[in-house]
Amino acid sequence: MSRTDIVFLHAPSVYDFRKKPIFYGPVSDVIPSSPVFEMYPIGFMTISSHLEAAGFRTRIVNLAGEMLADVRFDAEKKIRQLDADIYAIDLHWMPHAHGALEVAKLVKKYHPDAKTELGGLTSSYFYDELIRRPEVDLVMRGDVTEVPTVKMMEVLAEGGDLAQVPNLVWKDAAGKVHDNGLTYSPENLDGILFDYGTMIRNVLRHADVAGSLPWKGWDKVPLTSVFTVRGCSMNCAECGGSHFANTKVVCRRRPAFRQPEQLADDMAGIQEYLGAPVFVVGDLRQGGPDYADRFLKAVRERGVENHAVIELFSGAGPEYFRKLDRAFEGGWSIEFSPDSYDEAVRLALGKGYTNENIERTLPAAFANGCSRFDLFFMTGLPQQTRESALGSAEAAKRLWGLVKPADHLFIYDSPFAPFVDPGSRAFEDPDRWGYKLRARTLEEHRKLLDNPSWKHVLSYETKWMTRDDIAETSYDAAVVLTNAEHDAGRITAEEAKARNRRTETARELMHRIDKILEVPDTSERERQLWAVKEEGVQMMDSTITDKNDLDWNTGSVYRYAPRMAVGLLKKMIRGRP
C-alpha cells in the first residue's frame, strides 16, 4: 500500500454490525444510505482538497460502505494495510457514536504510533468526553475545519507546537489534554475548495472504487451536492443544525454563506465530471432577497445542465418556481420537510407556516416545471399524539389530490430516530419540549446503539408517546400512508398490499425481538436473536417505504468516464487549486 499523510475513515453506525444480531427498522428509509449510515460527510472531500493543494497526500476509505457491500470484506485487514501518519475519523452524525470509536481502537491496535483525529458536529459537542478516551489523540472542533486541518498537518510535519492550531483539542506526549479553543469560524464559505475531482483522483491513485464511494450504490444512482451555507437561520427545536445548536456547538452566531456565483461554479465543476443530479443544500432564500436571484442568474450564465434538487424551508409561490425553471436546463426537483401536517406540532417545532402554505406550494411547483417533489413527515415530535401522527399520513391523500395524477409527488413518513440531536433546543431543555431522554453522554448513546432492535436504540420518549407508542405509530402511519397512496391512484392494489405486508412483517419481527429480550438466560437470548438475524437483514432497506422512490435515475457513474478524464485533464492544464 502506498504511504499517505492522512486517511479519512468512515465507520458504520455499529461496528461490526455483521457480527451482531441487529434489527434496524425504518430508521433510514428516507435517506440515501442504509441503516448502517454508510454515507460519509462531504467535508471529507473539501478537507482533502485543501490538504492536496497544500502538498499532502490524502485518501478516503469508506469502511462502512465496503462492509455493507461485501460480507467477506475484512475491515481490520484493510485498516492494518493502510499506512498513514494521521487517521481522521468522522463523528459528525450521532448514529456513528459506536462505530467511530471502535474504528479508532482498531487504528490504535495496528498503528500505535499514528494519531487518531475525530471531527464533525457530534465530535464538536462531545469533544471533552472524546479526548479523554485512550483511542483518541486529537479532536477538531467547528463546522468549517479545512484551514485548521491544513495547519494541523503542517505543524505535525514540521514537529511544531500544536497549540498553534485553532479549534484543536489534543493530548501531549505525557497525555495531558490541551484545548486551543474554537477560534476559527469564518463569516463566509468563499475560501472553501470544492472539487469532486478530488474523489476521482483518490480512486485512480489507490485503485479503490469501493472504498471511495460516498455510499453503497452511489455508482449506480449517483447524487452529488453543493452547500449554500454552514449554520442556519432556522431554529427548529429538534435539529442539531439549527441556529441555536450552531451557536452552542460551533460558536456560529450567524450563517456563513457561499457567494452565489461560487455556488454556481461548484455546480459547473461537478458538470465537468458528472451528469448526476446536484442537491443544493440549504434554502437559497436564507441568504436574503438577492441571493437566490444571483445564484440562478449565474447558473444560467454557466450553462449548467445537471438536474438540480432544491430545498425549501417553507412554502414558495409561482414566481420563485418560474425562476428555478428558467435557470435549470436539466430540470429541477424540490425537497420539503414540514415534518407534520398538524399545525400545532409544526409551531412547537419552530416552523410557523400553515397548511394552506403547503397546499399552495405543491400545485404551484408542478404548474411551473417541477419534475418531482419530495415531502417528509415524522413521528415522535413535540406535542404529537398518536392521532396527530396518523393525521399527517391521512392528509397525504388530500395533498396528492391537489396535483395531477402524473405529477411526481412523493410523500414519506418515518420515525424521528434514533436520537434527539445533541445541541438542539429539545436536547438541551427536554422538559420544555416534552422529551424524556435516555441518553445524555456520548457513552450512553454508544451503548444504546448496541441494542438489537431500533425501538430500544431510541434515545427518547415524549410526554405524549412512549417508545412503544412511537414504534407502533410509525408502523401504523406507514399503513395509513400506503393506503392513502393507493386511494389517490398512485400505486396499484398489489403494490399497496405488498408494502403493507412488508410493514406488518417488520412490526411482527420487532415484537418477536421484544419477547426474546425477556429471556433471562443470556446464552439462550443470544441464540434466539441470531436465529432472526437474517430476517432483520432482509428488512434493512425500504422497511416501510419504497426506497427506490428516492433515486434520481440518471444512469451509472461509469457512463461518465470519458467526461471525468476530460475534466481531470482540464484541471491539470489550469492547475489544481
185 plus 231 within the same structural domain? no
- Give me the domain span that covers residue 431: 222-550
- Compute the mean pLDDT over every residue in the chain, rounded to the nearest whole number: 92
229 plus 178 within the same structural domain? no
226 plus 179 within the same structural domain? no
User: What confidence tier does 497 reach under pLDDT thresholds 50, 70, 90?
Assistant: very high
Query: In angstroms, rounded to a whole number, what is the distance separating the alpha carbons of residues 42 and 409?
Result: 28
160 plus 73 within the same structural domain? yes
pLDDT tens track for 316-364: 999 999 999 999 999 999 999 999 999 999 999 999 999 999 999 999 9
Q: What is the number of H-type helices and E-type strands within the chain? A: 25, 17
The three cell numbers of residue 236 are 427548529
153 plus 48 within the same structural domain? yes
339 plus 406 within the same structural domain? yes
Nearest to 242 by CA among 302, 181, 296, 313: 313
158 plus 283 within the same structural domain? no
Is 323 within the bounds of a domain? Answer: yes
Is 477 within the bounds of a domain? Answer: yes
401 plus 287 within the same structural domain? yes
323 plus 456 within the same structural domain? yes
233 plus 153 within the same structural domain? no
DSSP conformation class of 96: G
Confidence (pLDDT) at 1: 41
Is 570 within the bounds of a domain? Answer: no
34 plus 140 within the same structural domain? yes
Is 250 within the bounds of a domain? Answer: yes
Instruction: Examine the fold and report which residue of 161, 178, 196 is the final residue of a domain before the chain moves on.
Output: 196
Is 442 within the bounds of a domain? Answer: yes
pLDDT tens track for 423-440: 999 999 999 999 999 999
Is 565 within the bounds of a domain? Answer: no
140 plus 269 within the same structural domain? no
Helix (H) or strand (E) holding 549: none
Nearest to 300 by CA among 336, 268, 328, 259: 328
Contact 552, 307 (CB under 8 A): yes
Domain count, the chain: 2
Confidence (pLDDT) at 27: 67
pLDDT tens track for 150-178: 999 999 999 999 999 999 999 999 999 99
User: What confidence tier does 553 reach under pLDDT thresholds 50, 70, 90?
Assistant: low
Query: In angstroms, rounded to a whole number, what is the distance separating the alpha carbons of residues 388 and 302?
Result: 46
Q: How far is CA 388 from CA 196, 348, 392, 469, 542, in A?
A: 43, 13, 7, 13, 24
Helix 291-302 and helix 260-273, axial crossing angle in degrees, nearest 10:
30
Beta bridge partners, 562, equal: none
3 state SS of 509: helix
Is 559 within the bounds of a domain? Answer: no
